[in-house]
Structure 1
Protein backbone atom coordinates (compact mmCIF):
# COMPACT_ATOMS: atom_id res chain seq x y z
CA UNK A 1 0.00 0.00 0.00
CA UNK A 2 1.29 3.38 -1.00
CA UNK A 3 1.17 5.93 1.83
CA UNK A 4 -0.33 9.19 0.65
CA UNK A 5 0.36 12.70 1.86
CA UNK A 6 -0.71 16.12 0.63
CA UNK A 7 2.60 16.23 -1.26
CA UNK A 8 2.02 13.10 -3.37
CA UNK A 9 -1.80 12.84 -3.52
CA UNK A 10 -2.23 14.66 -6.81
CA UNK A 11 0.48 12.65 -8.59
CA UNK A 12 -0.41 9.23 -7.17
CA UNK A 13 -4.23 9.53 -7.27
CA UNK A 14 -5.54 12.40 -9.36
CA UNK A 15 -3.03 12.00 -12.20
CA UNK A 16 -2.72 8.21 -12.02
CA UNK A 17 -3.67 5.87 -14.83
CA UNK A 18 -6.23 3.19 -14.10
CA UNK A 19 -8.19 2.36 -10.98
CA UNK A 20 -6.96 3.76 -7.63
CA UNK A 21 -8.35 2.75 -4.23
CA UNK A 22 -7.69 5.13 -1.33
CA UNK A 23 -8.27 4.01 2.25
CA UNK A 24 -8.89 7.08 4.44
CA UNK A 25 -8.22 6.20 8.07
CA UNK A 26 -7.12 7.55 11.45
CA UNK A 27 -5.24 6.10 14.39
CA UNK A 28 -8.22 7.00 16.61
CA UNK A 29 -10.66 5.03 14.43
CA UNK A 30 -11.02 1.47 15.74
CA UNK A 31 -13.08 0.39 12.69
CA UNK A 32 -10.31 1.69 10.44
CA UNK A 33 -7.65 -0.30 12.25
CA UNK A 34 -9.81 -3.44 12.15
CA UNK A 35 -10.37 -3.10 8.39
CA UNK A 36 -6.81 -2.18 7.45
CA UNK A 37 -5.17 -5.66 7.56
CA UNK A 38 -7.88 -7.02 5.25
CA UNK A 39 -7.44 -4.12 2.83
CA UNK A 40 -3.70 -4.87 2.79
CA UNK A 41 -4.54 -8.50 1.89
CA UNK A 42 -6.74 -7.26 -0.96
CA UNK A 43 -3.93 -4.97 -2.11
CA UNK A 44 -1.65 -7.98 -2.49
CA UNK A 45 -4.33 -10.12 -4.13
CA UNK A 46 -5.50 -7.47 -6.62
CA UNK A 47 -2.36 -5.43 -7.27
CA UNK A 48 -2.78 -6.04 -11.01
CA UNK A 49 -6.30 -4.52 -10.98
CA UNK A 50 -5.79 -1.32 -8.96
CA UNK A 51 -3.29 0.86 -7.16
CA UNK A 52 -3.94 0.65 -3.40
CA UNK A 53 -3.18 3.69 -1.26
CA UNK A 54 -3.85 4.84 2.28
CA UNK A 55 -4.17 8.30 3.74
CA UNK A 56 -4.00 8.98 7.48
CA UNK A 57 -6.44 11.84 7.97
CA UNK A 58 -4.46 13.07 11.00
CA UNK A 59 -2.26 15.77 9.54
CA UNK A 60 -4.17 15.60 6.24
CA UNK A 61 -7.57 16.84 7.36
CA UNK A 62 -7.88 19.51 4.65
CA UNK A 63 -7.03 17.00 1.97
CA UNK A 64 -9.61 14.56 3.33
CA UNK A 65 -12.22 17.32 3.48
CA UNK A 66 -11.40 18.38 -0.10
CA UNK A 67 -12.24 14.81 -1.13
CA UNK A 68 -15.54 15.07 0.80
CA UNK A 69 -14.51 12.47 3.38
CA UNK A 70 -16.83 13.13 6.32
CA UNK A 71 -16.65 9.85 8.25
CA UNK A 72 -14.19 7.05 8.82
CA UNK A 73 -13.38 4.58 7.57
CA UNK A 74 -13.92 5.73 3.99
CA UNK A 75 -12.66 4.06 0.87
CA UNK A 76 -12.80 6.03 -2.35
CA UNK A 77 -12.24 4.62 -5.81
CA UNK A 78 -10.78 6.94 -8.44
CA UNK A 79 -10.37 6.69 -12.20
CA UNK A 80 -8.85 9.49 -14.29
CA UNK A 81 -8.74 11.75 -11.23
CA UNK A 82 -12.46 11.42 -10.53
CA UNK A 83 -14.18 9.67 -7.64
CA UNK A 84 -16.22 6.86 -9.21
CA UNK A 85 -17.35 5.01 -6.06
CA UNK A 86 -17.37 5.36 -2.29
CA UNK A 87 -17.69 3.05 0.69
CA UNK A 88 -18.01 4.63 4.11
CA UNK A 89 -18.54 3.90 7.82
CA UNK A 90 -19.87 0.31 8.08
CA UNK A 91 -17.43 -1.32 5.63
CA UNK A 92 -16.40 -4.96 5.45
CA UNK A 93 -13.48 -6.33 3.47
CA UNK A 94 -16.05 -8.22 1.40
CA UNK A 95 -17.73 -4.90 0.48
CA UNK A 96 -14.38 -3.56 -0.69
CA UNK A 97 -13.61 -6.67 -2.74
CA UNK A 98 -17.05 -6.70 -4.40
CA UNK A 99 -16.84 -3.01 -5.33
CA UNK A 100 -13.28 -3.40 -6.59
CA UNK A 101 -14.26 -6.27 -8.89
CA UNK A 102 -17.31 -4.34 -10.14
CA UNK A 103 -15.11 -1.41 -11.12
CA UNK A 104 -12.17 -3.34 -12.54
Structure 2
Protein backbone atom coordinates (compact mmCIF):
# COMPACT_ATOMS: atom_id res chain seq x y z
CA UNK A 1 0.00 0.00 0.00
CA UNK A 2 1.27 3.48 -0.80
CA UNK A 3 1.57 6.47 1.49
CA UNK A 4 -1.30 8.86 0.75
CA UNK A 5 -0.95 12.66 0.81
CA UNK A 6 -3.62 14.05 3.12
CA UNK A 7 -4.71 17.68 3.55
CA UNK A 8 -6.66 19.84 5.96
CA UNK A 9 -9.73 19.09 3.84
CA UNK A 10 -9.31 15.29 3.64
CA UNK A 11 -7.63 14.44 6.96
CA UNK A 12 -10.77 13.44 8.90
CA UNK A 13 -12.00 11.14 6.12
CA UNK A 14 -8.49 9.72 5.56
CA UNK A 15 -8.11 8.75 9.22
CA UNK A 16 -11.69 7.78 10.14
CA UNK A 17 -11.44 3.99 9.80
CA UNK A 18 -9.02 1.41 11.13
CA UNK A 19 -5.46 2.06 12.25
CA UNK A 20 -3.76 5.00 10.55
CA UNK A 21 -0.34 6.59 10.84
CA UNK A 22 0.03 10.18 9.67
CA UNK A 23 3.52 11.60 9.11
CA UNK A 24 3.50 15.36 9.79
CA UNK A 25 6.46 16.71 7.82
CA UNK A 26 7.90 19.60 5.77
CA UNK A 27 10.18 19.72 2.73
CA UNK A 28 12.89 21.68 4.60
CA UNK A 29 13.08 19.23 7.54
CA UNK A 30 16.16 16.97 7.56
CA UNK A 31 14.85 14.41 10.08
CA UNK A 32 11.60 14.26 8.05
CA UNK A 33 13.61 13.20 5.00
CA UNK A 34 15.11 10.39 7.11
CA UNK A 35 11.70 9.30 8.46
CA UNK A 36 9.92 9.29 5.10
CA UNK A 37 11.59 6.18 3.60
CA UNK A 38 10.89 4.25 6.83
CA UNK A 39 7.19 5.12 6.63
CA UNK A 40 7.16 4.16 2.93
CA UNK A 41 8.78 0.79 3.69
CA UNK A 42 6.22 0.02 6.38
CA UNK A 43 3.39 1.05 4.07
CA UNK A 44 4.56 -1.65 1.68
CA UNK A 45 4.62 -4.26 4.43
CA UNK A 46 1.65 -3.49 6.70
CA UNK A 47 -1.56 -3.76 4.69
CA UNK A 48 -3.72 -3.46 7.82
CA UNK A 49 -2.53 0.13 8.43
CA UNK A 50 -3.28 3.21 6.34
CA UNK A 51 -0.26 5.51 5.98
CA UNK A 52 -0.66 9.25 5.33
CA UNK A 53 1.65 12.24 4.94
CA UNK A 54 0.64 15.79 5.81
CA UNK A 55 2.84 18.75 4.82
CA UNK A 56 2.55 21.12 7.80
CA UNK A 57 3.46 24.19 5.72
CA UNK A 58 0.60 23.59 3.28
CA UNK A 59 -1.87 22.28 5.91
CA UNK A 60 -1.42 24.29 9.11
CA UNK A 61 -4.96 23.78 10.47
CA UNK A 62 -4.57 20.06 11.10
CA UNK A 63 -1.08 20.50 12.54
CA UNK A 64 -2.42 23.13 14.95
CA UNK A 65 -5.43 21.00 15.88
CA UNK A 66 -3.10 18.22 17.07
CA UNK A 67 -0.54 20.61 18.65
CA UNK A 68 2.27 19.54 16.33
CA UNK A 69 5.19 21.67 17.50
CA UNK A 70 8.11 19.60 16.19
CA UNK A 71 8.49 17.52 13.07
CA UNK A 72 8.54 14.78 12.18
CA UNK A 73 5.53 13.95 14.32
CA UNK A 74 3.79 10.64 13.70
CA UNK A 75 0.16 10.49 14.77
CA UNK A 76 -1.32 7.03 15.28
CA UNK A 77 -5.11 6.82 15.22
CA UNK A 78 -7.62 4.03 15.53
CA UNK A 79 -11.06 4.71 14.06
CA UNK A 80 -10.34 8.44 14.09
CA UNK A 81 -9.19 8.63 17.72
CA UNK A 82 -5.57 9.46 18.60
CA UNK A 83 -3.94 6.51 20.37
CA UNK A 84 -0.27 7.55 20.15
CA UNK A 85 1.86 10.56 19.20
CA UNK A 86 5.52 10.05 18.31
CA UNK A 87 7.89 12.99 17.94
CA UNK A 88 11.22 12.71 16.14
CA UNK A 89 12.76 9.94 14.10
CA UNK A 90 11.67 6.34 14.78
CA UNK A 91 13.12 3.18 13.27
CA UNK A 92 11.08 0.73 11.22
CA UNK A 93 11.19 -1.78 14.06
CA UNK A 94 9.99 0.76 16.63
CA UNK A 95 7.09 1.85 14.43
CA UNK A 96 6.05 -1.71 13.57
CA UNK A 97 5.99 -2.65 17.26
CA UNK A 98 3.86 0.40 18.14
CA UNK A 99 1.43 -0.11 15.25
CA UNK A 100 1.02 -3.84 15.89
CA UNK A 101 -0.35 -3.18 19.37
CA UNK A 102 -3.35 -1.37 17.84
CA UNK A 103 -4.21 -3.99 15.20
- TM-score normalised to the size of structure 2? 0.90
Unmatched tracts of structure 2, length 5 or more = none
CA contact 1:73–1:91 (8 Å) conserved in 2: no
Deviations 1:20-79 (A, max 9, x none): 1101111111001111011101001002x2111110111112210101211111101111
Q: Over aligned residues, Cα RMSD in angstroms?
A: 1.2
Distance 1:52 1:90, change over 3 A: closer
2:32 matched residue in structure 1: 32
Separation in 1 of the partners of 2:89 and 2:35?
10
How do 1:3-82 and structure 2 match up within 5 A?
3-13=5-15, 16-47=16-47, 49-82=48-81
Unmatched tracts of structure 1, length 5 or more = none
Q: How many residues align?
A: 101
- TM-score normalised to the size of structure 1? 0.89
